[in-house]
Amino acid sequence: MTHNALTALVVDDEHLARSRMRTLLGDCTQPACNVVGEAADAMQAMAILRNTPWCDVVLLDIHMPGADGLQLARELRSIRPELSVIFVTAHAEHAVAAFDLDVVDYLTKPVRLERLEKALAKVLQKKELLAQEKPGPEAELAKEMLVIQDRGRTERVPLAEVLYFKAELKYITVRTAAKSYILDGALNDLEQRHGAYFLRIHRNALVAKHSMRALERYHGKPEEGDEDGADIEGWAVRLRGVDDALLVSRRQLSAVRAAIASTG
């Protein structure tokens, strides 16, 4: 995957339209674009975006049940100004209202591949300009520390060194490339504080997005604490710096794939 690959959410109330757009995005190469999710309405889109902070662009239909695309774009402009919006619609008459919302582009159906790539190039340009204007997430991450009580000592562990948090019994294992620590706390609290850098891949694990290197098939024992002790088939993520493979829940597979694609 290219380091310049964008990540996109497709929002359209018609399944066939979403499927066609996913296919078109898969054919894009300049720039490449990976789909992190699909939504049939504004409510679904907002739910996905709450768990997908690294999404670059929303490809958005206008006429949908409930809140329409213009309303959703207006809300996104206020809460996620860094997020690009491209309208994809069969109705050309909303173009003026759309550009008043500072959207990146306005495409009419049926969308041609060349036209879509031109729109995505604008998204990439916007993303690169924003990156030049403010420190990247790596710079912010480098400033943060975890305070951990370890065998009577207080240790300050840079958050940037943490590869994953894993809930086990009453405690949380904090794993770096060099060492494991035990932290007293709740995984949900860590997710709320550090969700920009860590992705929930399973009900018991948060993984640093930059540490994920590959997805692979998994066959083996379930996680400790699962009631069913039978072997399971599924997926696991491999991390940079350690040999650990962590189980990925089915509902988080697309988000993990997108995170791996965005980090190259």
Mean pLDDT in residue range 235-251: 89
Mean pLDDT in residue range 28-46: 92
21 φ, ψ to 5°?
-65, -40
Task: Tell me where in the chain the CATH 2.40.50.1020 domain(s) lie.
Answer: 139-263
pTM: 0.54
- CA–CA distances in Å: residue 81 to residues 20, 153, 262: 27, 43, 20
Task: Give the pLDDT score at 3.
Answer: 47
Task: Give the pLDDT score at 198.
Answer: 92
Of residues 36 and 2, the one with the higher pLDDT is: 36
CA quadruple 162, 257, 200, 241: dihedral, nearest 10:
-20
pLDDT of residue 227 exceeding 50, the answer is no
Task: Report which of 69, 87, 68, 85 is spatially closest to residue 77, judged by C-alpha positions.
Answer: 85
Assigned CATH for 139-263: 2.40.50.1020
Task: Give the pLDDT score at 141.
Answer: 58
Q: Which two tokens stand for residue 47?
A: 């739910």
Task: Give the pLDDT score at 44.
Answer: 92
Residues linked to residue 205 through DSSP beta bridges, in sequence order: 166, 202
pLDDT over 90 for what percent of the chain?
39
Contact 45, 52 (CB under 8 A): no
Residues linked to residue 207 through DSSP beta bridges, in sequence order: 164, 199
Residue labelled with tokens 């504080």: 193
* Mean of all residue pLDDT scores within the chain: 84
Task: Tell me where in the chain the CATH 3.40.50.2300 domain(s) lie.
Answer: 6-133
Task: Report which of 179, 183, 137, 136 is spatially closest to residue 161, judged by C-alpha positions.
Answer: 179
Instruction: Give alpha helix (H) positions in the chain.
Output: 15-27, 42-50, 69-79, 95-100, 113-133, 137-143, 187-194, 253-263
Distance CA 156, CA 148 (A): 6
Reply yes or no on domain 6-133 having CATH 1.10.3720.10: no
Residues linked to residue 250 through DSSP beta bridges, in sequence order: none
pLDDT of residue 129 exceeding 80, the answer is yes
Contact 67, 79 (CB under 8 A): no
Q: How confident is the model at residue 28 (pLDDT cuts 50, 70, 90)?
A: very high
